[in-house]
Amino acid sequence: MQFKLRAVGKYTVIDWTGDMDLSCTSDARKQLLQCQDDGQHVLVDLTAVFHIDSSGVAVLVEGYQIAKEYGLDFGLVGVSHSVMSVLKLAHIDEIVPIHASAEALVNSEC
């Protein structure tokens, strides 16, 4: 899995590329929590993620919970069909905000 940070409006967007599974969730979690510890509003871009397992879902849920605790915004963007299927099974789509893209979200907030 590869990670890339970029800024879009008030958000730090973390672009994840590759499978989101137990082999990489520790690094993904560390990066996500570091951004939140720094007080950043975070969007996780899952456009290039085509597989996510329960450990990946757990990282996203934890990111959402930490954001709520810190009073930060958190959401997902660019969720592929296969990842959305997993998120729906876990009912994450009912809790975590999901947007088409970071740019679309920022434009809608203007």
Q: Following CA atoms 90, 85, 28, 21 in sequence, which dihedral angle do they give, to the nearest 10 degrees?
A: 90
Q: Do residues 49 and 20 touch, judged by C-beta distance below 8 A?
A: yes
Give me the residues paired with residue 16 across strands: 3
pLDDT tens column, 23-72 = 989 999 999 999 999 999 999 999 999 999 999 999 999 999 999 999 99
* Top CATH class, 2-109: alpha beta
- Residue 8: pLDDT band (50, 70, 90) is very high
Contacts of 56 (CB under 8 A, 6+ apart): 20, 21, 25, 28, 49
The whole-number pLDDT of residue 109 equals: 85
Domain boundaries, the chain: 2-109
